[in-house]
């Protein structure tokens, strides 16, 4: 540790730290633009100049290493004059357009100009103008003249996004930020460039000119998309969601969010929203009141139970639904005497439940991995924030190996083994054989210790922090249980953690509350084939969310009653009842992310039209049916009943252990059904800006599942 004196107080920081780090530790604010705690140091704005004793001139705090006994003054006349001079320089070319700037009210340049800017400019020459560039549907560059060349966006692309899509060209006063790789910025994390831009050069295209920052209320929430469970700030005006930005949580999403977390809010007020219950009468849809709709559903369930038995009733639920909704859906179905409930619509194998599958390690630990094997995942698109953490680990020397059906561009150094879907089990068996060879033990299955397998084995046998991660495609594989069993054996021999990246916001929670058959009930595939007579569809669209795809209508043709609970007008081809339920912004609830963290949130706006929270709809329906044990007055009551006061599922509740036999069978196998990045759920599918991205266009060309 090194001790320095900062504005008269003693501060101890680690050797190699910069003066800026010492200031952060001492809660001393030093003005800056280019410095960002998650990015490399550029020291090109010079706003953080400070007075260092015995230094011949002011020094940049972000790039000046601390030394023992250093004396630093941040508010001396020397420092203040230097900072004022830098501010004058930065404002030379800056347009005087604060009143129309989207950054107004949350602009670092605007704030610091008040304290360090002059009342008039001494610059009389012609000001530079930078023409706008169309870099995609998410980021606006209408006023790039505002850019102060801090290069935060450039460094973000290189270091966090993994792809240098923006760069600086030309020199001197002709310098400008522009695309250097293609015409557009296509990173799945690109929206974070808007947040870190300290001026109004990069702004949100969907949000542009829609509200002023001081008009917005800020409310905490949780992302309903992938299994990261990213923490969000949802900004609201007049009970309408206007913008979504990250809420910093170092253990989960750090200070980043994926673009689908940021821009999916556009779907919340789209034309597809369902605002009143609807019944299909004589092939025509009619709006009705809630009482009529619920009585219709209750009578239909009673008729089906009386005629076909309780086992003819089933529910297909989305793992993007809240913990409370999933629990009550299970309570309703099981209260009626059925065990037909499932959230695994994209799965091809339906093994008996053994444990709650999870990541197998804390999310934050991904950043410190020394070696990792990823099987069956397009990591960058399936889990952008997990990929970002592994990218940081790779920058520090982590060895990344991947087994997939194709070599994906993950924007990080990785060794890809291209193996057909049908041969994934054999590829893992080969790795197991290589591990067995290296350790001198018996292999669990016949395999060949190929050069690639040996390289993976040696990487997993070295170092202290290593993991085997099974992706969405591995979870949806026809031999999913065998893949897990092989991963378990390899992990046991190498000391690696192993687990699933998990697909959706609440995949872990869905397993925990039993949103899958327990006592021999029908699985998702069987229900989609029409083996039930009454079917609930909770927050899911089987045509997009299931293996059946477009054939789902044919499979459900003989089902007497299909009830869809959704925020959107969907499933209309085969549904008989549509019940409008609230999306995550209009209801309270909880999600359990990949690491088993229970995160609750509140409604940020009032429900649209006659929309109702799904947990309340399910509870009322259970009450009408005369079921006991579901008299909850709030979602918090349901949560307390399910998990108590826990904010983290315990080790006794989470388990990737499996007793599945390892029998590697080679032969033809269907490709696992995996949703592309902007087809994952109903919200992202209906977000206009997201559907204009390169990833969305590519998915449409290749099919919804990619």
Taking residues 651-680, report their average pLDDT.
91
**Which candidate, 468, 478, 479, places its Cα nearest to that of 375?**
468
Whether 242 and 319 share a structural domain = no
At 153 the three-state DSSP class reads: helix
Could you tell me the strand order of the sheet in which 71-73 lies?
9-13, 2-6, 71-73, 49-52, 59-60
- What are 569-586's pLDDT values in tens digits? 999 999 999 999 999 999
Taking residues 611-633, report their average pLDDT.
95
Whether 381 and 440 share a structural domain = yes
d(CA 610, CA 275): 5
Q: Name the β-bridge partners of 591.
A: 599
Write down which residue in 242, 267, 292 finishes a domain.
267
**Which candidate, 541, 552, 392, 419, places its Cα nearest to that of 474?**
419
d(CA 478, CA 403): 16
| CA distances (Å), origin 489, targets 402, 450, 480, 536 | 18, 18, 14, 39
Whether 376 and 497 share a structural domain = yes
Beta strands at 589-592 and 598-601: parallel, antiparallel or unpaired = antiparallel
Other CB atoms within 10 A of residue 211 CB: 17
| Residues across the chain | 706
Beta carbons of 134 and 183 less than 8 angstroms apart: yes
Q: What is the pLDDT of residue 200?
A: 93
Q: Residue 344: give its domain's CATH number.
A: 3.40.50.740
Q: Residue 675: give its domain's CATH number.
A: 3.40.228.10
Whether 544 and 568 share a structural domain = yes
Find the Cα–Cα–Cα–Cα dihedral 347, 384, 269, 224, rounded to 10°. 60
Whether 387 and 456 share a structural domain = yes
Q: What is the pLDDT of residue 576?
A: 96
Beta carbons of 153 and 193 less than 8 angstroms apart: yes
Q: Residue 144: give its domain's CATH number.
A: 3.30.70.20
d(CA 559, CA 552): 11
Is residue 354 situated within a structural domain? no
Q: What is the pLDDT of residue 704?
A: 44
Residue 674: give the domain boundaries: 363-501+659-702
Whether 494 and 551 share a structural domain = no
Query: Is the four-CA dihedral 363, 365, 369, 371 of positive or negative sign?
Result: negative
Is residue 546 situated within a structural domain? yes
d(CA 647, CA 596): 9
Q: Supply 188's token pair.
A: 């799945």
Taking the alpha carbons at both ends of the chain, their separation in whole angstroms is 51
Beta carbons of 11 and 24 less than 8 angstroms apart: no
Taking residues 588-610, report their average pLDDT.
97
d(CA 82, CA 671): 62
d(CA 226, CA 383): 7
- Split at pLDDT 50, 70, 90, the class of 460 is very high
Beta carbons of 537 and 563 less than 8 angstroms apart: yes
Q: Residue 62: give its domain's CATH number.
A: 3.10.20.740
Tell me which residue has tokens 């360090």.
Answer: 116
- Split at pLDDT 50, 70, 90, the class of 703 is low
- Split at pLDDT 50, 70, 90, the class of 153 is very high
Is residue 272 situated within a structural domain? no
Q: For the chain, how many helices (H) and strands (E)? A: 22, 26
- What are 318-361's pLDDT values in tens digits? 999 999 999 999 999 999 999 999 999 999 999 998 999 999 99
Provide CB contacts within 8 A for 637, sequence distance 6+.
none
d(CA 314, CA 161): 43
pLDDT above 90 for 473:
yes
Q: Domain tally for the chain?
A: 4
Is residue 105 situated within a structural domain? no
Q: What is the pLDDT of residue 174?
A: 86
Beta strands at 2-6 and 9-13: parallel, antiparallel or unpaired = antiparallel
Whether 627 and 680 share a structural domain = no
**Which candidate, 107, 385, 167, places its Cα nearest to that of 260?**
385
Whether 342 and 408 share a structural domain = no
d(CA 357, CA 475): 10
What is the reported pTM?
A: 0.95
- What are 190-205's pLDDT values in tens digits? 999 999 999 999 999 9
Q: Which phi and psi (to 5°) does residue 610 adopt? A: -100, 20
Is residue 428 situated within a structural domain? yes
Is residue 117 situated within a structural domain? no
- What are 102-140's pLDDT values in tens digits? 999 999 999 999 888 887 788 878 888 898 899 999 999
At 247 the three-state DSSP class reads: coil
Whether 211 and 293 share a structural domain = no
Q: Supply 627's token pair.
A: 């079921």
* Summary mean pLDDT of the chain: 94
Whether 405 and 429 share a structural domain = yes
Q: Supply 534's token pair.
A: 């009454």
d(CA 336, CA 329): 11
Taking residues 213-242, report their average pLDDT.
96
| CA distances (Å), origin 330, targets 253, 334, 335, 337, 522 | 30, 6, 8, 11, 13
In 341-489, the DSSP E strands lie at: 341-342, 371-375, 399-404, 415-418, 466-470
Whether 33 and 146 share a structural domain = no
Is residue 357 situated within a structural domain? no
Taking residues 429-435, report their average pLDDT.
97
- What are 245-267's pLDDT values in tens digits? 999 999 999 999 999 999 999 99
Taking residues 559-569, report their average pLDDT.
97
**Which candidate, 407, 323, 395, places its Cα nearest to that of 635?**
323
Taking residues 85-89, report their average pLDDT.
92
Other CB atoms within 10 A of residue 91 CB: 18
Is residue 150 situated within a structural domain? yes
Q: What is the pLDDT of residue 138?
A: 97
Provide CB contacts within 8 A for 577, sequence distance 6+.
277, 278, 279, 280, 293, 296, 297, 300, 561, 562, 563, 564
Whether 205 and 182 share a structural domain = yes
Provide CB contacts within 8 A for 521, sequence distance 6+.
311, 314, 338, 339, 340, 341, 342
């Amino acid at each position: 540790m090194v001790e320095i004196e900062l504005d008269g107080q003693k501060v101890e920081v680690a050797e190699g730290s910069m003066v800026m780090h010492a200031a952060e530790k001492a809660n001393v604010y030093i003005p800056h633009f280019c410095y960002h705690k998650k990015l490399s140091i550029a020291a090109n704005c010079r706003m953080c100049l400070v007075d260092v004793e015995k230094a011949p001139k002011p020094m940049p705090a972000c790039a000046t290493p601390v030394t023992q006994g250093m004396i630093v003054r941040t508010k001396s006349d020397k420092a203040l004059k230097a900072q004022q001079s830098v501010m004058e320089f930065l404002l030379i070319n800056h347009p005087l357009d604060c009143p129309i700037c989207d950054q107004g009210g949350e602009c670092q340049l605007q704030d610091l100009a008040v304290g360090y800017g002059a009342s008039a400019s001494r610059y009389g020459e012609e000001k530079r103008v930078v023409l706008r560039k169309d870099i995609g549907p998410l980021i606006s560059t209408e006023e790039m003249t505002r850019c102060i060349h801090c290069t935060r966006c450039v460094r973000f692309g290189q270091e966090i996004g993994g792809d240098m899509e923006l760069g600086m060209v030309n020199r001197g006063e002709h310098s400008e930020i522009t695309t250097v790789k293609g015409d557009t910025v296509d990173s799945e994390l690109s929206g974070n460039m808007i947040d870190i831009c300290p001026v109004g050069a990069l702004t949100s295209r969907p949000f542009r000119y829609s509200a002023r920052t001081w008009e917005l209320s800020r409310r905490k929430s949780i992302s309903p998309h992938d299994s990261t469970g990213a923490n969000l700030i949802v900004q609201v005006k007049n009970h309408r969601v206007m913008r979504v930005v990250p809420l910093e949580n170092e253990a989960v999403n750090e200070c980043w969010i994926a673009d689908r977390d940021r821009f999916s809010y556009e779907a919340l007020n789209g034309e597809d929203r369902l605002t009143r219950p609807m019944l299909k009468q004589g092939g025509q849809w009619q709006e009705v009141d809630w009482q009529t709709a619920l009585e219709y559903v209750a009578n239909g369930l009673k008729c089906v139970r009386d005629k076909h038995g309780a086992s003819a009733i089933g529910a297909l639920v989305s793992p993007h639904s809240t913990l409370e909704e999933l629990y009550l859906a299970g309570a309703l179905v099981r209260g009626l005497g059925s065990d037909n409930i499932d959230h695994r619509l994209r799965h091809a194998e339906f093994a008996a439940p053994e444990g709650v599958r999870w990541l197998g390690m804390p999310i934050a630990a991904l950043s410190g991995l020394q070696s990792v094997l990823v099987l069956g995942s397009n990591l960058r698109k399936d889990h952008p924030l997990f990929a970002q953490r592994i990218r940081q680990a790779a920058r520090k020397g982590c060895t990344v190996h991947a087994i997939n059906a194709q070599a994906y561009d993950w924007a990080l150094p990785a060794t890809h083994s291209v193996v057909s879907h049908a041969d994934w089990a054999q590829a893992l068996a080969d790795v197991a054989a290589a591990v067995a060879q290296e350790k001198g033990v018996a292999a669990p299955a016949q395999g060949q210790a190929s050069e690639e397998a040996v390289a993976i084995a040696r990487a997993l046998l070295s170092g202290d922090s290593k993991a085997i991660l099974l992706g969405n495609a591995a979870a949806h594989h026809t031999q999913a249980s065998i893949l897990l069993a092989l991963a378990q054996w390899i992990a046991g021999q190498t000391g690696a953690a192993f687990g699933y990246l998990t697909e959706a916001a609440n995949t872990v929670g869905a397993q925990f509350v039993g949103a899958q058959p327990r006592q021999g009930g029908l699985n998702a595939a069987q229900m989609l084939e029409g083996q039930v007579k009454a079917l609930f569809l909770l927050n899911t669209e089987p045509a997009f969310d299931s293996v059946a795809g477009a054939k789902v209508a044919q499979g459900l043709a003989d089902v007497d009653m299909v009830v869809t609970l959704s925020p959107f007008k969907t499933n209309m081809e085969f549904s008989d009842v549509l019940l409008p339920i609230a999306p995550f912004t209009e209801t309270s609830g909880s999600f359990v992310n990949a690491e088993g963290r229970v995160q609750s949130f509140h409604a940020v706006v009032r429900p649209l039209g006659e929309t109702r929270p799904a947990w309340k709809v399910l509870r009322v329906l259970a009450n009408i049916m005369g079921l006991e044990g579901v008299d909850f007055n709030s979602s918090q009551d349901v949560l307390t009943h399910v998990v108590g006061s826990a904010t983290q599922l315990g080790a006794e509740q989470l388990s990737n252990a499996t007793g599945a036999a390892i029998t590697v069978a080679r032969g033809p196998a269907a490709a696992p059904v995996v949703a592309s990045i902007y087809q994952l759920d109903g919200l992202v599918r209906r977000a206009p800006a997201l559907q204009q991205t390169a990833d969305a266009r590519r998915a449409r060309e290749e099919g919804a599942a990619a």
